Structure 1
Amino acid sequence: MKEGAPARPLLEAVALHKSYDAFSAVRGVNFSIAPNSYVTLLGPSGCGKTSILRMIGGFETVSSGLLELDGTSLAEVPANRRPVNTVFQSYALFPHLTVEDNVGFGLAYTRFDRATIERKVADALAMVELGPLARRRPRQLSGGQQQRVALARAIVNQPRLLLLDEPLSALDRRMRKDMQIQLKDLQRRLGMAFLHVTHDQEEAFALSDVIIVMNHGRIEQQGSPSDIYNRPATAYVADFIGGANRVGGRILEVANGADAVTATIETPLGRFTVPGVAGLKPGAAATLCVRPEQLAPAAHGAFDVTVTHQVFRGAEWLIEARAAGDLALGFVLRDGTLPAVGATVRLAFDPAHAWIAADAAPEA
């Protein structure tokens, strides 16, 4: 590789499709995973994310398209010969085996001698901080400890890629947060690529270097957590990630700069000139996106709203309101006087912190 050239992806998917009879679960997706990265497939149930994971793991066949690992096609490689391991949602531990026997189960079918197997198992348990519990059985462990046993079993063979299928969904909120920290720390210490599937956006943001947002078998957007949150490519992403206020409108003008796009959009709330996604065209329908925390009461604001609900969230209030007839909006209030239900409030936002998104992702 030439100096300065980009590193080859560890895994690459090109025009990847998966169909079950007449139903298309995955519709021509393209993405890549860099070595030593933490990538999350994020989306609601039925969006195709688990089908992608299962195709990579070899548990489902690829209907069409290309999957390559380290530059080699996975098409003819059976699941047990792929340098890929999976951590399942259910953990899939053997209840009659000890922790160390669960972790070393797959190694028993290799050519490693007993001493090597014992060392690898001990190393894997140390990595997930479970060495002292090696002789216990799964029923004697907490949910978080069982999850770490499943992780140890998955990493004991040092796979090139670790697949995690909703691995934290069975844990309570507190344990889930603890495991998020442990998962990210483990990935950094191993220097291994993780591909994580979840519907939980908070989980995705806490763990990921790259998030791939999916909807109806297609990729809506992929990028860093910051890009996904602050610059949603579509109205769907703006709503799914953080619940942005979405105001439909029509593009009047577009200014394409060297590094950014700025557009003027006409909406029921007024006319605004704000940054936007690439590809906007004058006359096209688009969506103005403003996060609730970016809207604030102002004496000389841009528009009036009528308060409909107040939701206490501990450090702040979420105020739900209506504007321009029946347009639902939300804004955050951290201090100041709490407006009563039915009160009229004038709101404003900094145009630099709003965003214009496309109404839909382009067809594959």
Structure 2
Amino acid sequence: MTTPDLRAETDGSGRAQRPLLEAKGLYKSYGEVDAVSGVDFALDGNSYVTLLGPSGCGKTSILRMIGGFEEITSGALTLDGARLDEIPAARRPINTVFQSYALFPHLSVLDNVAFGLSYRGIPRSRIRPTALEALKTVRMEAMADRRPRQLSGGQQQRVALARAIVNEPRLLLLDEPLSALDRRMRKDMQIELKDLQRRLGMTFLHVTHDQEEAFALSDRIIVMRNGRIEQQGRPDHIYARPNTAYVADFIGGAVCVPGEVVDRQAVDVILDTALGRFQIPGAPPLTAGMAAVLCLRPENLSLASDGLPARVTHCVYRGSDWIVECESAGQLLQATALDTPPPPGSDVKLSFDPARAWAAAAEQGVSA
């Protein structure tokens, strides 16, 4: 069972302000299949939030319910305190940037951006300058007269963003917006997206399966699995303090060594594993007798003169450092080395700081 994480802003005097968007008990079913199974979350104003998870976890269904492209099966979605299901999709102060960009090929860049303004009752004399201003915001005003086919993928992405923000929505939805770009262009667009969100002071809700992308962009991440929220919070907290083995593995690929909690001592647990018994910080729900995992990331483990006996099985050079895969007590571990490590087959010792390790629940659905 997940615990709702409904944060609220304050107005500077300590008084809580209402979140921009809230989801409570949100369900979406397609026949007998539950795509979204009773999730609770909230989005603050002027924030960048990412729904992160593998294909089929329900993240796009949530986005489509917010945008009005799918009906809510049950539960509630509110924007600025108003029920969204009572507002037609065309009248919601929400715009969406689609994975395919959905630009009109027969219209110029400027006309693509201006297309929706006439439906808002904007005077004709203001449509062109308003659209040009939106293009300036995404640094595309010099290409206003081009057609979409004359643009690169990154340039088309900027035009799609300009078309979305020109209507000044309260919330901007981004559905896998960078998936069609190459790695270099994705990196560049990540920087531009976050910069754009900060400059506009708008709330962005971004859907992706890419952990690196989520960490680069987000003030807050909502990790999903099988239609439910596995964990939500700041990127640094989720990375360092995963609630479950699933989150530890999905976020950053931690090695999860199975074990059992022997005792709980304030923030620490005593954990028995094949590698030994350790006193380490652990997820709050863990208590004596529960199955848990020892989460170790490569940056937490290093080659040392004393520690866990291990044998090198594989080495990968990453430019700035090495990833050294080792076997210890039947467990495959990964350590980071700055210098050239011993070759495969070598006997080594592995060391880690228990204060930087973490115990997470072994089973899905135990979260704080």
**TM superposition score category, shorter chain reference:** over 0.9
Matched, 1:42 2:45: no
The aligned length equals 357
Deviation at 1:234, TM superposition (A): 0.8
Counterpart amino acid of residue 274 in structure 1: I
Pick the aligned partner of 1:330 from 318, 330, 334: 334
Q: What SS does structure 2 have at the residue aligned with 1:106?
A: coil
Structure 1 residue aligned with 2:115: 105
Pick the aligned partner of 2:195 from 182, 185, 192: 185
Matched, 1:162 2:172: yes
Deviations 1:266-300 (A, max 9, x none): 00000000111111110110111011111011222
- In the alignment, the residues of structure 2 paired with residue 166 and residue 206 of structure 1 have an alpha-carbon distance, to the nearest angstrom, of 14
Matched, 1:313 2:323: no
Matched, 1:285 2:291: yes
Deviations 1:72-107 (A, max 9, x none): 111121110110000000000000100010001111
State the identity %: 63
Structure 1 residue aligned with 2:17: 7
Instruction: Say if 2:244 and 2:366, in contact at 8 Å, map to a contact too.
Output: no
Structure 1 residue aligned with 2:33: 23
Q: What SS does structure 1 have at the residue aligned with 2:85?
A: coil
- In the alignment, the residues of structure 1 paired with residue 213 and residue 149 of structure 2 have an alpha-carbon distance, to the nearest angstrom, of 26
Q: What SS does structure 1 have at the residue aligned with 2:117?
A: helix
Q: What SS does structure 2 have at the residue aligned with 1:300?
A: coil
Counterpart amino acid of residue 346 in structure 2: A
Deviation at 1:145, TM superposition (A): 0.6
Counterpart amino acid of residue 284 in structure 1: M
Structure 1 residue aligned with 2:272: 266
Deviations 1:136-163 (A, max 9, x none): 1101111111000000000001000000
- In the alignment, the residues of structure 2 paired with residue 271 and residue 7 of structure 1 have an alpha-carbon distance, to the nearest angstrom, of 46
Matched, 1:215 2:225: yes
Deviation at 1:363, TM superposition (A): 7.0
Q: What SS does structure 1 have at the residue aligned with 2:139?
A: coil
Matched, 1:122 2:126: no
Matched, 1:344 2:347: yes
Deviation at 1:33, TM superposition (A): 0.2
Deviations 1:117-147 (A, max 9, x none): 1121011111001111111110111111100
- In the alignment, the residues of structure 2 paired with residue 96 and residue 332 of structure 1 have an alpha-carbon distance, to the nearest angstrom, of 53
Deviation at 1:7, TM superposition (A): 2.0
Instruction: Say if 2:243 and 2:366, in contact at 8 Å, map to a contact too.
Output: no
Pick the aligned partner of 1:304 from 309, 320, 325: 309
Q: What SS does structure 2 have at the residue aligned with 1:308?
A: strand
Q: Spell out the pairing of 1:167-178 with structure 2 (5 A cutoff).
A: 167-178=177-188
- In the alignment, the residues of structure 1 paired with residue 24 and residue 283 of structure 2 have an alpha-carbon distance, to the nearest angstrom, of 24
Bigger shift: 2-11 or 347-356? Answer: 2-11
Matched, 1:240 2:244: no
Deviations 1:233-270 (A, max 9, x none): 111111011111111100011012xxxx1111000000
Matched, 1:92 2:97: no
Deviations 1:221-243 (A, max 9, x none): 11111101111111111101111
Structure 2 residues not aligned, in runs of 5+: 1-9
Deviation at 1:112, TM superposition (A): 1.3
Structure 2 residue aligned with 1:152: 162
Matched, 1:354 2:357: yes
Q: Name segments (4+ residues, structure 1) moved above 2 Å.
A: 360-364
- In the alignment, the residues of structure 1 paired with residue 57 and residue 335 of structure 2 have an alpha-carbon distance, to the nearest angstrom, of 29
Structure 2 residue aligned with 1:135: 145
Root-mean-square deviation (CA), in Å? 1.3
